[in-house]
Every structure is written in structure tokens, then in C-alpha cells.
Structure 1
Amino acid sequence: MLNLYKAKPKTSLTGKTLTFSIDSSDYEVHGISKHEQKIAFISGALPGERVQAKVAEDKAGYLKALSTKVLQASSLRITPPCQYAAQCGGCQLQHISAANQRGLKQQGIDKLICHQTGLTSLPWQPMLTAADSGYRRRARIGIWYDKKQRRFSVGFRQHADKQIVAVDSCMVLSPLLAPVFAALNQALPQLKDATAVTHAEVLEAGGTAFVIVRHVKPLTVTEQQGFVAAWPEAVWLGEATAGEFSYWNTAVTPQYHLAEQQLTLQFSPDDFIQVNAAINQQMVTQALDWLQLGSNDTVLDLYAGIGNFSLALAQRAKTVHALEGVAKMVQQLATNAKLNGLSNVEAWQADLHLAWPKARWNKAEYTKVLLDPARAGAQGAVEQVVKLKPAQILYVSCNAATFARDAKVLLQSGYSLEKICGVDMFAHTSHLELMALFSR
């Protein structure tokens, strides 16, 4: 008689609370530990600590967990300055001072890049930093209506959860935008259909507060004016599910300034702009400093957006060719060039991750290239860039993991890493952006 052995199905650890001793941290400042030969990433835990943590993911090779109780604390741990820090998912590192946050983030990124590229050391430059509170000029605010309790929650999502944490204030939000929570809490209960509004977005531009109300069902004029009355100093806009904007009071074109370059950039409320104005100014200034452009330089600016870097580059270079994937933003970039009297900027639409077309911009010779991709990085584009053989490539990254992947391509293609610096765009979060200069 043949007996077939069937292995018992492994019980998942997801949802269970375990005890971990934290050995180190990764590039997002998650504590690193081990459990039964699996590596474990523990958010909210620091090197040297012993914590209890609830497992959120149990995969074949790793665990992810959220710290719930600190049994043995690190000397780096502090009391969070925000009363909502324990629940709100907006900030992940308020249990560490801003200075130590930066140090841990850079240490983790250094290890990641060296491991991925084979480099033994990185030419770090001073980090770009600014105020660690009141810095956000843009934020998305969650809105949830509890049908059982018949009340709204206005705030931000919890850590690793879709549930909204109701807040009355946000320490990292620009002071100009602070009235938004009270205004929404005043206006929302006046809606006939409480589920009509799903979230809102606040934006500071040119000293004006804008509020974009995202609604999935039509709002009456009376309901719209209820929002306006709750905060009359702000510019209120509605956005329906079709993606169309409508002004509910004064129609104003948002714009921001790069004071050091004496530039003004207009944009649509749904265009991408950097959320930290002070850091953005430093990034543009440093890009000009590192690239050392002259009147004979021809520059290719990839993922150019509305021209945040393009216009400043054009002030010093002979020609700037700017590439952007979103047609509307390409048009806005061209408008901004005219607005600032720059005739040496040409803008095109292109999906830079696909095979590059035989366009005029792809036939030119470039001395310098700047690329500022989204979190997915510039895979595909970097292979095309190295074929152009520019003398220098300045890579602005918002994701260290995809930067490390793309940097390896550049290094293998004959470029060397001349400079790199951290950019603390989002203080109190696990994110650290990067600027890196490569030379042939």
C-alpha cells in the first residue's frame, strides 16, 4: 500500500503580533530583523530596539510588520511632535529628530546604491534641507462618511490602512492652508448626498490657497457656495469624475516663482509641481551650479513637466529641448517659456520609456542632459541617453531603488558618479530624494 505524504499547509503569520530585535535599518528607515530565517522589515522600529510588531505581509522570503509596542527603546527615539503621529499615515518618522531622520535615510540609501552598483563609496555632498514643519504647499485630504454614525471624517489615511484619521491640523502643511479642515467640516454636512465628495486637495500658489473638491456626483450651486462660504479667502474648484474643473468662485491661474532665477511658472491645478517650495528652489539652483552651463551648451531635459528645470537651464544654455509625456503639460511648458521671454526652449511630447522616435529632438547633439522621472525611474530612457554621449547627466530621483537600478546602467556605459546629495523634500517621512551628477 502506497502512502502519499502531504505537507501541512503553512500557517500565515499575517495579522499576528511577534517580538523582534532590530539589527539595522533600510533606505526607508524600516527596522530590519529576522524571524525563522526570513528577513523582516519593521516600520516604526529603530536599530538596537526590541519591539512587538503586527505582521502585515508574510511572503516567501520576507515579512513586513508594523511596530505596536517598544520593549527596549533606542536612544534616538523621541516623543513625536504631532498629536496624530501614532495613527496618521502622513508622516512615518516623527519618533526620530529631523537631523537623525536625514542621517538614517542617507545611510540606508548609501548601502542600497553601493550594493546595487558595486561602488564602494559615494561622493556625498551636503544634503538639501529646509524647515521641517509648515513646508507642504500641496496635500490630498481624505473624506469619509460613516453611514452608521452619520458623520464625516476629514484627514489622512492611517498607517497601512484605508481608514481616515480625522485631524484638525497638520504640522507639515503650509500655515496658509491650515483653515481647510475647519472649512470642510463646516461645508460637508450641508450636502444632500453625503457620499458625493470623496476627497479634497489643497494647494498654495502665489500666496493664494486653492481647494479642489473631488466629487463623484453633481453638486448644486447652493452646495458649491456652501464650501465657498466656509472659507471665502480660498479659491474653490470642483472636479467631477470626468476630470473637468469648474471654479466655484474667482477664476485664478495658479503660479509659483523661482525667485533666484526671476522666473514665474503657471500651471493647472492637476499639473505636477514639487510640494516643498523651499527645497525646489534649492534643487533648481544646485542643478545650475553642478552643470555649469555655458552659452554653447545644448541641453536635453527629460520628464520636464511644466518647465521647472527647463526655463532655468535656458537662461544659461544655448538651447534646451524639453520632453514630457503629458500633452497638456507640454503646452504649459511652452506657455511658460513665452511668459518668461525665453525663445531658446522647445517642448515636445514623448513617452520616454518606449523606443524613441526619429524626431528632430532625437537627432540633435547634446552636451548636458537632465532627467527628473517619477518613482518608476527612467528605465529604457537611460539606455537611449547614453547613446547620445552627453558630457554630463544630472539625474534627479524621488525613488532610491529605481535610481540605483538606472545608475548601474550609466556606470556600465562609461559614466562615473561625480556628485550625489540627498534632498529632504518630505521631512518626517521615509522618503529622501536624490540629485546625482554623472560625467563621461
Structure 2
Amino acid sequence: MARSNRPKLIDVEVDIVDLSHDGRGVARIDGKTVFISGALTGERVLAQLDVTKRKFNEGRTLKVLQASPLRVDPACAHYEICGGCALQHLDAAAQIEAKQRVLLENFERIGHVSPGEILPPLIDQPWGYRRKARLGVKWVKAKDRAIVGFREADKPQFIADISRCLVLVPQIGERISELSELITAMDARESIAQIEVAAGDEAVGLVFRHLQPLGEADRARLIEFAQRSGLLIFLQPGANDSVHPLWPADAELSFRIPAADVRLHFRPLDFVQVNAGMNQKMIARTLEMLDPQPQDRVLDLFCGLGNFTLPIARRAGSVVGVEGEAGLVARARDNAAQNGISNAEFYAADLAQDLRGEPWVKQGFDKLLLDPPRTGADAAIPQLPLKGVKRIVYVSCHPGSLARDAGILVRDYGYRLVSAGVMDMFPHTAHVESIALFER
């Protein structure tokens, strides 16, 4: 029989000595590390220990006995149960400082490097920013209604019962109860598994994942909701490529990058940066750091829809974008054509695999942009044509993989970590997005 990690619940008073990378307070009990959700550095709290592991324990705050001066009242009424945010109880400026500290600690501990300059953090609106999200849906027979929301913080197997969300774009965040009522009224209420949120500049779409075919009555309910709310409705009966518009039939999503005079069209399940305002600032900082010139040939790896590639193309002599998902590459090419950009080429390639057969690898480049997933770019770096690359800008969604790759670039390839800083792509969460500049 498997041994349970859940001990008899124990209530203890502890002093919080640090904040973990995921936003939990760190305490020590008899020399063993304990992670306490809802606690902040410098506080004394009454905590309930509910998970015991070999190297650490976990618990949650029952009562704050001595509060940090940085503690604030969470704005969201569902904060204590919903797992969508982890730091609403920490002052906004202190959230940024904590993320910057995580980044610098990772550089030191993992990469054994330090930036020559710490960049001022990029911040934007802290509420109503999230234009991409996946909402869980669960028909709860005991409540005789459908629950729509994110997973619970302490019990991720359950969907948090919420009525609104302050971090989602308001068109959706203020309609969580409406979505619950809509699905509750549907004949297929037990087969709706999730709702994907995707917002463009002019329209907001919802993708309903349904495990059984929808009847005409349910389709009519969804269309009526679309007409009343002004939202675009898509259906997903199977895999990602099964997504299609229900209403209107010509539904499409797009967003503009005004500084580059570019409009990007995307499908509702495509990857786009979650925070629209921060994306604009991130692109501006990336262009400033990369400094593409008319004579430069630039390589953009993990390029997606062309979020960076096409703005770079407005300034550089030429740019090559490489992305692992063929569908995104096709849409990047379409976006280039629709924006009248002819000096951008796109290739589909798995950048974690052997790249020796890729034609673009044999070409020379002056500058390089890396924007990898959480796993980082360590598999690609040794295979890249770095000989002539004078400048690298690295956009990261995980400080640990950035720190590791920074160490590789500095130690093995002779680059210098010129500058680095955080970008608050996900306010009120512990997620750390960052950017770094490397030069020969």
C-alpha cells in the first residue's frame, strides 16, 4: 500500500524567514523547511501542517499573529480558495521586488553569473490584464449547477466556485456567473470540460470544449449568449484542430503592435502573450536591447506567430523565424504577407532536437533573439551558428532555465551578461518573466 503524504493535521506557530519561488512563506521547524501558503517574510503565523515529505513539509496559514508591513487585503473575494493568484496579499511593489530577487538568486545559484546592470522592472495594469486563460468546468450534482473557474489553491482536483475574476479581461472576468448559468441550462452540461479564453483587440472569444455532440437547443443557447454578450463563440469537439467558430461564422481574433505598424491574426488556441499591455512594452524593450539595424541579419527562435519577428523585420535587413509548431509557422507567414513584410522567412523545426539538417542553421546571423518555453534553450544553443552573432536577447518565462542558459553562454561561448530584469507579465502570481542581454 502506498504511503500517504498527509499526516495528522498539526497546528503550529512559526516565524516566516523567506518567500519561496512559488509565493509561499518559508519557515524552519526543527531544522526542516516548511512552506506555508498565505504567509509573508517577517511574519509570525499560526499554520496548519498538512503535507509531510522527506525533505520538507507544507502547510497553510490559519491566522496571522504578527503581520508584515507589506501585507495588503486581497482585492478578490475568492482569493483564499482560488488557485489563479498567489500573491494578492503582498503589496504590488513588493511583488516586483520579490520576482527580481528570484531572478538574481537564480543567476547566482544556477548560472554562477551576474548581470552588469539590473534593468528597471517592466510593469503594466495589475488587473483585468489576462487575455488568455483556461477555465475549468464541472457539473456538481449536489449543487445542481455548473461551476466555472480556476482550480482550487489547496485542492487542485476541484474547481473553485467563483462568481467573478479580477485578473481576466473584464468581458470574461465579470461574466463567470453568467457562464455558470449558461452551462447549467444546457442539455450537455455534464460534457462541457473547459472554456478557453482568447481576447484580441476588438473581440473576445470563448472556446467550449465538449465531450459529446451538442444538440440544436444547446447550440441555440450558445448563439443567443454570443449575440447578447458580443462575445465570439467557438466549439471544440475533439483535438485542437477541431476548433471552429459557432457564432459568428467568420469569427476571428487579432491584435496590433502599433510601434511596428503590425497586426497579428491568431486562432483562439494559439499561443499569444497573456498580458496585452505588457506585450507591447516587452516588444519595445526587446527591440531597444537587440537594436536591429538595416544591415543586420537576425535569427528569432521560438518565434510563434511572429510577435517579435515582424517588428524586428521593420528595422532589420532580414530576419529568420523558427518555431516548432507548424500551424503557428503557417500563420506567421500569413501575418507577414498581410502586413506587407517580405524580408522575414519562417521555418518549422523542433528546437530541442538535432538541427544539423535545417537550412537556416548553415546561414550566418548578426543578432539572435531567444524566447523559449519554460524548459529553456540549452538543447538548441550548442547547435546554433553563433560565430558571427554579436548580440543575444533572451526573453524567459522561467528564471531557472534562463540562469542555466546564461551560464552556458558566458562560460562556453564567450558572451557577457550585460543586463537583465523582470517583466511583470502575470501580476499577483509568482510567475517570473524576464529579459537578458548578452554581448561578445
TM-score exceeds 0.5: yes
Select which of 168, 188, 209 maps to 2:183.
188
Return the match for 2:206 from 181, 186, 211: 211
Normalized against structure 2, the TM-score is what? 0.93
Distance 1:120 1:371 in 2: 19
Distance 1:205 1:433 in 2: 21
1:234 matched to 2:231? The reply is yes
State, as a whole percentage, how many aligned pairs show the same letter. Answer: 33
Match of 1:85 in 2: 79
The verdict on how the C-alpha distance between 1:27 and 1:122 changes in structure 2, with shifts beyond 3 A counting, is farther
Per the normalisation by structure 1, the TM-score is: 0.93
Structure 2 unaligned spans of 5+: none
Determine the C-alpha separation between the residues in 2 that align with 1:363 and 1:16: 61
Write the distance in 1 (CA, Å) between the matches of 2:331 and 2:129. Answer: 25
Instruction: Select 2:246's aligned residue among 232, 245, 248.
Output: 248
What amino acid does structure 2 have at the position aligned with 1:333?
A
Per the TM alignment, residue 51 of structure 1 is displaced from its structure 2 partner at its CA by 2.0
Q: Which residue number corresponds to residue 40 of structure 1?
A: 34
Between the aligned partners of 1:182 and 1:246, the Cα distance in structure 2 is: 25
> Which whole-Å CA distance do the structure 2 matches of 1:32 and 1:78 have between them?
19
Is 1:186–1:230's contact at 8 Å kept on the other side of the alignment? no
Partner-residue secondary structure (3-state), 2:150? strand
The yes-or-no answer on 1:142 pairing with 2:136 is yes
Q: Contact 1:236 / 1:248 at 8 angstroms: preserved in 2?
A: yes
Which deviates further from its counterpart, 66-75 or 277-286?
66-75
Task: Give the AA of the match of 2:75.
Answer: P
Structure 1 residues 14 and 152, CA gap change in structure 2 (3 angstroms): same
**Change in 2 beyond 3 A, CA 1:113/1:65:** farther
1:121 positional shift: 5.9
Corresponding position: 1:374 with 2:355: no
Q: State how 1:386-401 maps to structure 2 within 5 Å.
A: 387-401=386-400
Equivalent residue pairs, number: 432
Q: Secondary structure at the match of 1:164?
A: coil
Q: In the aligned structure 2, how far is the partner of 1:111 from the partner of 1:225?
A: 54
Shift of 1:120: 5.4
Give SS of 1:195's match.
helix
Task: Report the more deviating stretch, 424-433 or 21-30.
Answer: 21-30
**Residue in 2 aligned with 1:111?**
105
Offset at residue 191 of structure 1 (A): 2.1
Cα deviation 1:81-120 (Å, max 9, x = unaligned): 1111111111111111211111122123222221222235
SS class of match (1:322) = strand
C-alpha contact 2:18 2:42 (8 A) present in aligned 1 = yes
Unaligned runs of 5+ residues in structure 1 are 1-8
Tell me the secondary structure at the aligned position of residue 223 of structure 1.
helix
> What is the distance in 2 between the residues matched to 1:354 and 1:285?
31
Amino acid at match of 2:419: K
Query: Aligned to 2:59, which of 58, 65, 74?
Result: 65
Distance in 2, matches of 1:207 and 1:74, equals: 42
Shift of 1:122: 5.3
Q: Does 1:435 align with 2:435?
A: yes
1:197 match: 192
Write the mapping of 1:252-331 to structure 2, written as runs, cut at 5 A.
Answer: 252-331=251-330
Q: Give the 3-state SS of the residue equivalent to 1:157 in structure 2.
A: coil
1:328-375: CA deviation from partner (whole Å, max 9, x where unpaired): 001011111111111111111111111213222000111111011111
Greater length-normalized contact order (CA 8 Å, ≥ 6 residues apart): 2
Write the letter of the residue equivalent to 1:238: L
The RMSD of aligned alpha carbons is 2.0
* Preserved contact between residue 29 and residue 108 of structure 1 (Cα < 8 Å): no
What does residue 50 of structure 1 align with?
A: 44
SS in 2 for 1:248: strand
- Residue by residue, what CA displacement relative to the aligned partner does 1:45-100 show, whole Å, maximum 9, x if unpaired? 11111223344543332233333322221111111111111111111111112111
Going from structure 1 to structure 2, the CA distance change for 1:57 and 1:345 (only over 3 Å counts) comes to farther
Q: Distance in 1 between matches of 2:49 and 2:335?
A: 49
- Contact 1:213 1:239 survives alignment (8 Å): yes
For residues 184 and 4 of structure 2, the distance between their equivalents in structure 1, rounded to whole angstroms, comes to 48
Separation in structure 1 between the aligned mates of residue 9 and residue 349 of structure 2, nearest angstrom: 44
Relative distance call for 1:390 and 1:59 in structure 2 (3 A) is farther
Q: Deviations over 1:288-329 (max 9, x none)?
A: 111111111111111100000000111111111111000100
State whether residues 89 and 157 of structure 1, in contact with CA within 8 Å, keep that contact through their aligned partners in structure 2: yes
Shift of 1:26: 3.1
Bigger shift: residues 50-59 or 164-173: 50-59
In 1: Cα distance, 2:408 partner to 2:64 partner? 41
In the alignment, residue 127 of structure 1 is paired with which amino acid?
P
Please report how far the alpha carbon of residue 388 of structure 1 lies from its aligned counterpart in structure 2 after TM superposition: 4.2
Contact 1:25 1:108 in 2 (8 A): no
Cα distance change, pair 53–231 in 1 and its aligned pair in 2 (3 A):
farther
Deviates more, 1:175-184 or 1:395-404: 175-184
Stretch of structure 1 that moved more, 108-117 or 406-415: 108-117
